[in-house]
Amino acid sequence: MGLLACGLITTMSRAIEEFNRRQLRARDAMDRAYAQPLDIARLAGIACVSEAHFIRAFRATFGETPHRYLQRRRVERAMFLLRETSRAVTEICFDIGFTSLGTFSRTFHDIVGKSPTEYRRLAKVKAVPTCFTMAWTRPSSLGPSSFGEADTARRQ
């Protein structure tokens, strides 16, 4: 009995590990093609599951739906471009994959807590290690936190 249970646990662990690996592959595909339209069918194919199961499993694994994850990744890229370039907000909006300036502005505000224009005006580039910058400027899908970009007004 002990060997059978041990073999079953090992088999289950491998299956879970493989499932998680496929989820990571799908998320990596989203990271690479963040400016492209979200194609759930293709991502579910990468994860080798149905579309509905992919959405449920992605949320269970990463804490947010694939759509929200993609929005957050796009906003992260927009934050960088707003800080580091003088490109127009509309140009940045379309370059990162949004098809509507209104949707981009609303989503940006929901995630960051400021409009894109206000964020650009308040963003100050400081010489700090990249790892700190990335952690500090990563927006949280869980709302304001003590370690997120959306809280800068409270710290000032």
- The fold of the 71-141 domain, in CATH, is Arc Repressor Mutant, subunit A (1.10.10)
pLDDT tens-place string over residues 44-94: 999 999 999 999 999 999 999 999 999 999 999 999 999 999 999 999 999
pLDDT tens-place string over residues 11-48: 768 888 999 999 999 999 999 999 998 899 999 999 99
Helix (H) or strand (E) holding 94: helix 89-95
Q: What are the residue ranges spanned by the domains of the chain?
A: 2-63, 71-141
What's the CA gap between 62 and 26, in Å, rounded? Answer: 12
- CB 66, CB 34: distance < 8 Å: no
pLDDT tens-place string over residues 117-143: 999 999 876 677 878 777 777 776 655
